Amino acid sequence: MTTAPPRLGGTRLVAVDGPSGAGKTTFAQELAAQLDAQLISTDHFATWDDPTTRWWPRLVRALDQVEQGREGRYRKTDWSQGFPCIGEGDEVVITPQRTIVLEGFSSARKSNTRLSLAIFVDHPNQQERLERATKRDGEHQREHFIRWQHYERGWFAVDETRARADYVVTSSS
């Protein structure tokens, strides 16, 4: 992984993508710790109503700064009131460094040409993934996750995310 060429200025951007409940957050946390890398999550941006599109330019603007050797900044989506307040959460500073791990759904999208490496974390059983996500975020989120899983399947099919990944990791229960 450390031999992949940097494509974000002098920084390697490693995406850890995959469906909800597959284990990508845990995998990305462990990877970031091993690489002494900053971890950024697409959960800082996405909402139930906007899984992939309108928020992406906010992340790109922050990465533009890192590419130029400067700190990039953004505000997380604030969920503290039970609904998303986009860009009203805590500020995150992305610093230029050897490696940044970008974790979350759609992080390895085709349009992300700055990636040094794409890892797709999968879990073969959709129902188990639903149960994992619901257990993690609460039963009140189940219907959201069902819609989200439907959206993910379409996104991954069109974007060909898994097929383009440099590595595919299959998690277990």
Domain CATH number, residue 85: 3.40.50.300
Residue 83 pLDDT: 56
| Structural domain includes residue 24 | yes
Residue 137 pLDDT: 86
Instruction: From residue 41, give the alpha-carbon distance in Å to each of 38, 103, 120.
Output: 10, 5, 15
CB-CB neighbours of 97 under 10 Å: 14
The whole-angstrom separation of Cα 48 and Cα 169 is 26
**Helices 126-137 and 142-159: crossing angle, nearest 10°?**
130
| Structural domain includes residue 20 | yes
| Structural domain includes residue 3 | no
**How many domains does the chain fold into?**
1
Tens digit of each residue's pLDDT, the chain (173 residues)? 568 999 999 999 999 999 999 999 999 999 999 999 999 999 999 888 888 998 999 999 999 999 999 999 999 887 665 555 666 778 999 999 999 999 999 999 999 999 999 999 999 999 999 999 999 888 988 999 999 999 999 999 999 999 999 999 998 75
110's CB contacts (< 8 A; 6+ apart) are 159, 160, 161, 164
- Residue 57's domain comprises 12-170
| Structural domain includes residue 94 | yes
Residue 122 pLDDT: 96
| Structural domain includes residue 7 | no
| Structural domain includes residue 64 | yes
Instruction: From residue 52, give the alpha-carbon distance in Å to each of 43, 101, 106, 140, 156.
Output: 10, 18, 6, 22, 11
